[in-house]
Each structure stands twice: as structure tokens, then as C-alpha cells.
């Protein structure tokens, strides 16, 4: 479960500054989020005191001025000792000593079904000829709400930054995401922690509150999240963005609400959320003001009313029962639905929930798409795939499976500099991404980091363009499951994709298409 005990920490004493001059350097102890290193204040000597807690993020190695640290995975133990690995033993000891379960940040680790066992089918002579990525155009635009509201969103590339709250992230990280969205014409999302004032104009590409000086073209969009904790929510908040997203759940902890531990509830966060400084802000797992699906419909109605029928209404789902949940969102009046697979990230969650709850992203998409098709709204109500998206290749596969766009959240944090230490909840992020401490936040320049994020989106956009065109399409709207093949049985079974070599879906999927599954779902794969 936990990653503790999975890495070997070694320090080359011949070049370590502290080993040669005790007291002169303590960088590794300062930056390590897990207290692997300890400084003996009496002698000034640094020691690897707690090597079992190393999670392999290698922040210490990156910061070490002498390049003296090496972190190597201790993978064989997972073969020789499984299931009683050192990590499991340590976890049990921890619980026995403290009576507490493990909390951590980021998403699911270890092997879960993913996009890697799906391959893209290129065009050759029998199918439509491939198109030339270098000299021909490709339509990558995604419009949300074009038939339902006065001001639809037109994403210039099929991506969004999914919801990550102020509190979970620093103000500077939120500003960087807004700038990255503005530079690329995509959408950023407030998350459930209220509005960072600057997001409202930075996301649209402006450097001033009055929005008179535009710096970043083409300008992006700001999605306002409405969630179960309702932190910082008012009529003005709802009207400060380009869309409203109703959060039902998220991939990392479906069935639970947002967790922001007291260590990150500073004066600023307290002011926006209305939670006492240092108190844990734990969002409810459900809406207290919703008891039925009709209530959700009424909620959508008054959200449209309060926003003067101008902006799209989006839903965000955790990975539960995609067909039924997506159907409910459609009935409630959604203009777009994000579905977040189990690998989706978080600022804080019980470890067992992140590791053991929810449906993998690749298994969420087919039933979600089928629900849209059965309601006659596929490609009208937009589907946004979230949960462990790493690059344009993952996004392309999600879109070929029927999604209209994809979201990068964990990848966005990594693009900002994150090394995946799983300790977001502690508030000590040395890159200033998930910390609220001024000294950490000062390390993150919103403009420079925003540009890194824009670079990442530009690269992923080009990747999607390459794959779309080599598959013979001029638009991402033409993508279909025919552009993909599963490369092993599990993936074919989870997705219903044709099996490479066999060139058909597995028989159980073909049987499903004949009989349906008794849940309003006929299992058809419309290519």
C-alpha cells in the first residue's frame, strides 16, 4: 500500500559537504518531506536516520549542492516478500503504534489498468490516407454549451486543468495555472476552495483587474466550482467565471469530500473559506442541500438563473457507475461531464481510498460514452476524461474512446516542478506548489511557471495533432474506437476495444451488444 521502505538512500560521504564539514550544509534535511535525514544539532553531523520513510521523490538529490545523494528503488522486495513487504510491515507497525490510518497526497500508485496496453491504429492503404501533420490543418477545438447558453466556451485545444483548490495549492500555483490556460486557450478551474482574485483576470489573459491590458493570447477560461463544502461561494463568485462545475466526486477519493488539513489553513485560506486558521477543512461527502435527482435538476436551474443563463453548467464525477451517473448528469441538464478515473490525484486522502476505491479511467470511458449515445447527446454534451492523464497519447486514446477532451491535474503539478513525494497534505512542498508557507511560495514564479504549463499544453496539443492526422483525421471529432486496439485481454475486457490481432472485441462484448446488460446499456461500440 504505502511506498515506505521501497527505496535505498545512499550518501556519498566523500563529496557530501556535511560529511566533510559538519554544520556547513543541511539541505537534505531541510527539503525532505519525510524526515529521512536528521541533523545532530550537537555535532552538526547529518545522518540518514529514517531511510524507511523515503518515497523516492528524489527532492533531496535535486537540492543537494554536492550531488552526493543517490536514491535507488528496492524493487526486488515486492517479488520476494509480497504480500508481507517491508512497506506493509511498516504500515501495520505504524497503525499499531498510533491508532491512525495513513493520509497522503497525489494519486494511486502501483499497477492499475491504464492506457498503455492500448495502441493507436495508423492509416495505411486500406483506410483513409494519413494526413500531413507538418503541412495540413487539424481541428482541435472543443465547444461547451453551444446550444444551451449565451456564452459557450471554445477551448482552443482539447484540454482543461481540472479542479485543484486554493488551499490544496498555493496562490502562486493557482495563478500559474490561470496563466497557462490563457497562453493556450484552455480552461482552468477554481476547485472548491473559493476564488483567488487574480485567477479571474489572469485566466482570460489580462494582467489587471479591470481587464484592459491583455498580455497572454488567446486568453483562456475560468471554470467556477460549486461543491459540497461551498467554500467561498456567493452569487458574485459564481458570476466571476465562464462556466460553473457541480462537483459530485473525484477519482482519488470518490464518496468522500475534499480534505484540507489544518497545516494548510492559513490566514488567507481561512479568509476565503471561513474556516478557523489551523482547523481541518473537511468537505462533506455529499450535498447537504440535495436529497434527490430532482434536487440536482433544481440546483442546475438556479445556477443557470443566478448566472443569467450565460455560462455552461458542467458536472464532475468520481469513478463509480459511469453509465448511470453520466445518465443522471444528462437528465440534470449538464453541458459537459468530467469523469475522473481512480488514478486521479488529490491534495490529501486516506491512503486506502486512493489505492483501493474506484474504477480505472479506461473502464470509465466506454460506459460514459454509451450513456451519452443512448441519450442522443454524444458530442453535444461534452465528456472530459480525467484521472492519470500523462501526455497527448493518453488524451488521444481517451478521445478516440469517445471523450471530447482530457484534463491534466497531476501532470500539471509535475509540469510546475513537482517530483511526486506524496506529501502534499503536509504543506511543506519545496517547490511552492502545495505549500502555503511564504518561503516555499516565494520559489514559484507564476509567470515563469505559467509558461512551463503552456509549454506542456503546446507539446501535448502537437502530440494529439500527430496522432489524429496519422490516423487519417482532420478533426478530433472524427476519432473513434476504430483508431485503437487493445494489446492484452484485460484491457480488451475492460474497454470493449477490438483486440489487436483478433480484430474484434472480445466475445463477451459482442454478446453484450446483442442482449444489453439489463442496466439500460447495450454494450454497442459505435465505430
Partner 1 sequence: MKIIDAKNKDLRAVNTELKASVNGVAVKVKNVSHLHGLAAGMKHGEVVIQGDAGDYVGVLNAGAVIRVTKNAARYVADNMTSGTVIIEGDADYGTGQYCYGGTVVVRGNSGDFTATMNKGATIIVCGDVGDEVGTYMLKGDLIVLGNAGEHFANYLIRGNVYIGGQWKSIGNNTKIEPLTDEDKAKLRAYFETFQIVAAPAGFRKIAAASEKPFYH
Comparing CB distances to partner 1, the nearer of 298 and 380 is 298
Q: Quick one: which of 152, 262, 333, 472 contacts partner 1 (CB under 8 A)?
A: 262
- Nearest distance, CB of residue 229 and partner 1, angstroms: 7
Examine residue 280 and tell whether it contacts partner 1 (CB under 8 A).
yes
Options 299, 329, 343, 421; binder of partner 1; rule CB under 8 A? 299
Helix (H/G/I), strand (E/B), else coil: 145: coil
Residue 293 interacting with partner 1 (CB under 8 A): no
Within residues 103-122, the interface with partner 1 by CB under 8 A covers: 103
Angle (nearest 5°) at CA 472 between 468 and 477: 55
Residue among 121, 143, 238, 500 that touches partner 1 (CB under 8 A):
238
Burial class (CB in 10 A: 0-12, 13-18, 19+), 118: buried
CA-wise closest residue to 430 among 130, 84, 83, 30:
30
Terminus-to-terminus CA distance in the chain, angstroms? 39
Cβ closest to partner 1, residue 193 vs residue 360: 193
Task: Choose the stretch contacting partner 1; rule: CB under 8 A; options: 74-82, 167-175, 274-282, 415-423.
Answer: 274-282
Contact characters 60-99, partner 1, x per CB under 8 A: ----------------------------------------
Q: What is the smallest separation between the CB atom of 295 and partner 1, expressed in angstroms?
A: 7
3-state secondary structure 311-347: CCEEEEECCCCHHHHHHHHHHHCCCEEEEECCCCCCC
Does residue 167 touch partner 1 according to CB under 8 A?
no
Residue 125 within binding range of partner 1, rule CB under 8 A: no
All residues at 6 or more sequence positions from 236 whose CB lies less than 8 Å from its CB, including other chains? none
Residue 92 vs 285, nearer CB to partner 1: 285
Q: What's the closest the beta carbon of residue 169 comes to partner 1, in angstroms?
A: 20
Please pick, from the candidates 8, 38, 48, 282, the single residue that binds partner 1 as defined by CB under 8 A: 282
Q: Which of 65, 73, 255, 276 binds partner 1 (CB under 8 A)?
A: 276
Backbone angles phi, psi at 190, to 5 degrees: -65, -30
The nearer residue to partner 1, 195 or 365, going by C-beta atoms, is 195
Q: Which of residues 243 and 512 has its CB atom nearest to partner 1 in the complex?
A: 243
Q: Is 253 in the site for partner 1 (CB under 8 A)?
A: no
Q: Considering the rule CB under 8 A, would residue 207 count as an interface residue with partner 1?
A: no
Specify which residues 37 forms β-bridges with. Answer: 48
Determine the Cα–Cα distance for residues 469 and 123; give it in Å rounded to an integer. 9
Instruction: Show the 3-state SS of 379-448.
Output: CCEEEEEECCCCCHHHHHHHHHCCCCEEECCHHHHHHCCCCCCCCHHHCCCCCCCCCCCHHHHCCCCHHH
**Is 301 among the residues that bind partner 1 (CB under 8 A)?**
yes
Is 302 near partner 1 (CB under 8 A)? yes
To partner 1, the closest distance from the beta carbon of 410 in angstroms equals: 23
Instruction: Give the strand pairing for 37-40 and 153-155.
Output: unpaired
CB contact at 8 A, 172 and 336: no
Q: Report, in Å, the least distance between residue 278 CB and partner 1.
A: 6
Beta strands in 1-76 (DSSP E): 7-11, 37-40, 45-48, 69-73
Placement of cell 502555503 in the chain: 436
User: Any contact of residue 264 with partner 1 (CB under 8 A)?
Assistant: no
Name which of residues 336 to 355 contact partner 1 (CB under 8 A). none
Size of the site for partner 1 (CB under 8 A): 30
* Nearest by Cα to 238 from 171, 293, 305, 157: 305
Instruction: Residue 99: count other Cβ atoms within 10 Å of its Cβ.
Output: 7
Judged by DSSP in three states, 118 sits in strand
Cβ 251 to partner 1 shortest distance, Å: 22
Q: Which of residues 217-236 bind partner 1 (CB under 8 A)?
A: 229-230, 233-236
Cα distance between residue 463 and residue 475, in whole Å: 14
Residues 378, 384: Cα–Cα separation, whole Å: 12
CB 194 within 8 A of CB 231: yes
Would you say 285 or 459 has its CB closer to partner 1?
285
The residues near 65 (Cβ < 8 Å, ≥ 6 apart) are 17, 25, 27
Cell of 323: 453509465
Closest approach of partner 1 to the CB of residue 288, in Å: 5
Nearer to partner 1, 256 or 363 (CB): 256
Among 309, 352, 475, 489, contact with partner 1 (rule: CB under 8 A): 309
Between 194 and 345, CB nearer to partner 1: 194
Give the residue, chosen from 81, 215, 298, 375, that forms a contact with partner 1 under the rule CB under 8 A: 298
Q: Is 71 helix (H, G, I), strand (E, B) or coil?
A: strand
Query: Looking at beta carbons only, is 82 or 302 nearer to partner 1?
Result: 302
286 lies in the site for partner 1, by CB under 8 A: no
Cell of 236: 458574485
Residue 43 CB neighbour total at 10 angstroms: 10
Q: Assess 274 for contact with partner 1 (CB under 8 A).
A: yes
Q: Is 305 in the site for partner 1 (CB under 8 A)?
A: yes
- How far apart are CB 27 and partner 1 at their closest, in Å? 30
197 lies in the binding site for partner 1 (CB under 8 A):
no
Residues near partner 1 (CB under 8 A) are 103, 229-230, 233-236, 238, 261-262, 274-276, 278-280, 282, 284, 288-289, 291, 295, 298-299, 301-302, 304-306, 309
Amino acid at each position: 500500500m504505502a511506498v515506505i521502505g521501497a527505496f535505498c538512500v545512499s550518501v556519498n560521504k566523500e563529496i557530501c559537504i556535511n560529511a566533510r564539514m559538519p554544520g556547513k550544509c543541511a539541505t537534505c534535511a531541510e527539503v525532505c518531506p519525510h524526515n529521512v535525514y536528521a541533523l545532530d544539532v550537537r555535532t552538526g553531523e547529518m545522518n540518514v536516520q529514517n531511510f524507511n520513510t523515503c518515497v523516492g521523490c528524489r527532492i533531496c538529490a535535486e537540492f543537494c549542492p554536492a550531488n552526493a545523494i543517490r536514491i535507488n528503488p528496492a524493487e526486488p522486495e515486492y517479488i520476494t516478500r509480497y504480500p508481507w513487504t517491508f512497506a506493509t510491515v511498516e504500515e501495520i507497525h505504524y497503525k499499531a503504534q498510533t491508532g491512525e490510518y495513513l493520509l497522503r497526497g497525489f494519486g494511486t500508485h502501483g499497477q492499475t489498468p491504464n492506457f498503455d496496453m492500448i495502441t493507436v491504429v495508423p492509416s495505411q492503404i486500406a483506410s483513409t490516407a494519413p494526413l500531413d501533420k507538418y503541412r495540413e490543418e487539424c481541428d482541435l477545438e472543443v465547444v461547451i454549451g453551444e446550444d444551451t447558453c449565451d456564452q459557450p466556451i471554445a477551448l482552443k485545444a482539447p484540454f482543461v486543468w481540472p479542479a485543484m483548490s486554493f488551499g490544496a495549492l498555493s496562490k502562486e500555483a493557482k495563478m500559474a495555472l490561470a496563466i497557462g490556460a490563457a497562453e493556450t486557450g484552455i480552461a482552468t478551474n477554481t476547485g472548491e476552495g473559493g476564488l483567488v482574485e487574480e485567477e479571474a483576470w489572469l485566466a482570460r489573459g489580462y494582467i489587471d483587474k479591470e481587464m484592459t491590458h491583455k498580455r497572454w493570447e488567446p486568453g483562456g477560461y475560468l471554470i467556477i466550482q460549486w461543491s459540497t463544502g461551498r467554500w467561498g461561494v456567493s452569487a458574485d463568485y459564481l458570476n466571476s467565471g465562464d462556466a460553473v462545475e457541480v462537483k459530485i466526486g473525484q477519482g482519488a477519493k470518490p464518496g468522500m469530500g475534499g480534505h484540507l488539513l489544518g497545516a494548510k489553513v492559513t490566514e488567507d485560506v481561512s479568509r476565503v473559506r471561513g474556516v478557523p486558521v489551523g482547523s481541518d477543512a473537511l468537505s462533506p461527502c455529499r450535498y447537504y442541500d440535495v436529497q434527490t435527482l430532482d434536487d440536482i435538476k433544481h440546483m442546475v436551474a438556479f445556477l443557470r438563473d443566478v448566472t443569467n443563463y450565460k455560462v455552461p453548467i458542467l458536472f464532475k464525477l468520481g469513478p463509480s457507475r459511469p453509465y448511470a451517473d453520466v445518465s443522471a448528469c444528462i437528465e440534470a441538464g449538464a453541458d459537459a461531464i468530467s469523469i475522473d478515473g481512480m488514478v486521479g490525484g488529490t491534495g490529501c486522502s486516506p491512503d486506502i481510498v486512493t489505492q483501493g476505491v474506484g474504477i480505472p479511467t479506461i473502464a470509465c470511458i466506454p460506459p460514459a460514452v454509451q450513456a451519452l449515445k443512448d441519450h442522443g447527446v454524444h458530442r453535444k454534451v461534452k465528456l472530459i476524461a480525467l484521472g492519470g492523464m500523462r501526455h497527448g497519447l493518453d488524451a488521444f486514446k481517451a478521445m478516440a474512446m469517445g471523450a471530447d477532451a482530457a484534463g491534466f491535474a497531476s501532470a500539471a503539478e509535475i509540469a510546475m516542478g513537482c517530483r511526486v513525494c506524496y506529501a502534499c497534505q503536509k504543506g511543506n512542498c519545496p517547490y511552492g506548489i502545495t505549500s502555503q508557507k511564504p518561503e516555499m511560495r516565494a520559489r514559484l514564479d507564476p509567470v515563469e511557471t505559467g509558461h512551463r504549463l503552456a509549454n506542456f499544453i503546446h507539446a501535448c496539443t502537437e502530440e494529439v495533432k500527430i496522432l489524429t492526422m496519422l490516423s487519417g483525421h482532420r478533426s478530433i471529432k472524427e476519432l473513434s474506437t476504430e483508431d485503437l486496439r487493445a494489446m492484452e485481454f484485460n484491457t480488451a475486457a475492460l474497454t470493449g476495444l477490438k483486440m489487436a490481432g483478433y480484430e474484434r472485441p472480445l466475445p463477451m462484448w459482442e454478446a453484450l451488444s446483442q442482449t444489453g446488460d439489463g442496466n439500460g446499456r447495450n454494450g454497442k461500440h459505435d465505430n
